[in-house]
Amino acid sequence: MKLTSAQIERTVGQFEGQAIPEDHPVVPQLNDLFGEHTFFLSSNGLNILEGSRAGVQSAKVVNLADWSEAGSSGLEPHEPEPTDVVIMLGFRH
């Protein structure tokens, strides 16, 4: 799911991760691999948000790739793994 700048701010306030800017050169490759999303890097690897509930917009953090080694900059993709982290994005109008 693609997020607005306000939703990205809410996400990083609730999740220890950093959004990859849309203009970053790696984003087209990530979109080809995983679809159109806002991507977040965290200590557990590469993540996206998926899903929402009626009324209150929320999304679950899904991990797509783990760091290949401690301290490494490489990522190893795997099947999407939903986490227990739910982000409250705001209210629908």
- Looking at residue 68, its pLDDT comes to 86
Q: Domain boundaries in the chain? A: 5-91
Per-residue tokens: 88: 């409250």
Q: What is the rounded CA–CA span in Å between residue 21 and residue 50?
A: 18
Residues 6+ apart with CB under 8 A from 42: 15, 16, 17, 18
- Looking at residue 69, its pLDDT comes to 75
pLDDT in tens, the chain (93 residues): 899 999 999 999 999 999 999 999 999 999 999 999 999 999 999 999 998 655 558 899 999 999 987 656 789 999 999 999 999 987 655
16 to 20, 28, 85: CA distances (angstroms):
13, 24, 11
The model's pTM: 0.87
